[in-house]
């Protein structure tokens, strides 16, 4: 049974510098959005707006 389990593993590599920069940029954008007025209005307002808005 152990042999079949090992064939299901995938090798995970470390992200490259370029990938790390991209990930950090996404995190920064998320933080900026969460600190924005638009985010606060959506959180406070609940689901008052329809889908897609």
Quick: pLDDT tens for 4-26: 556 788 899 999 999 999 999 99
Mean pLDDT score across all residues of the chain: 83
More confident call, 53 vs 23 = 23
Whole-prediction pTM = 0.53
- Spatial separation of the C-alpha atoms in residues 1 and 47, rounded to whole Å: 49
Residue-number span of the structural domain to which 27 is assigned = 17-43
First CA to last CA across the chain, in angstroms?
A: 51
Q: Domain total for the chain?
A: 1
Q: Answer whether residue 34 is part of any domain.
A: yes
- Spatial separation of the C-alpha atoms in residues 16 and 26, rounded to whole Å: 15
Q: Answer whether residue 5 is part of any domain.
A: no
Q: Answer whether residue 22 is part of any domain.
A: yes
Q: Answer whether residue 21 is part of any domain.
A: yes
Q: Answer whether residue 2 is part of any domain.
A: no
Q: Answer whether residue 29 is part of any domain.
A: yes
- Spatial separation of the C-alpha atoms in residues 38 and 48, rounded to whole Å: 14
């Amino acid at each position: 049974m152990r042999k079949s389990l090992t064939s299901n593993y995938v090798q995970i590599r470390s992200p490259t510098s370029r990938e790390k920069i991209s990930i950090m940029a996404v995190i920064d954008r998320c933080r900026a959005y969460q600190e924005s007025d638009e985010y606060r209005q959506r959180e406070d307002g609940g689901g008052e707006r329809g889908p897609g808005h």
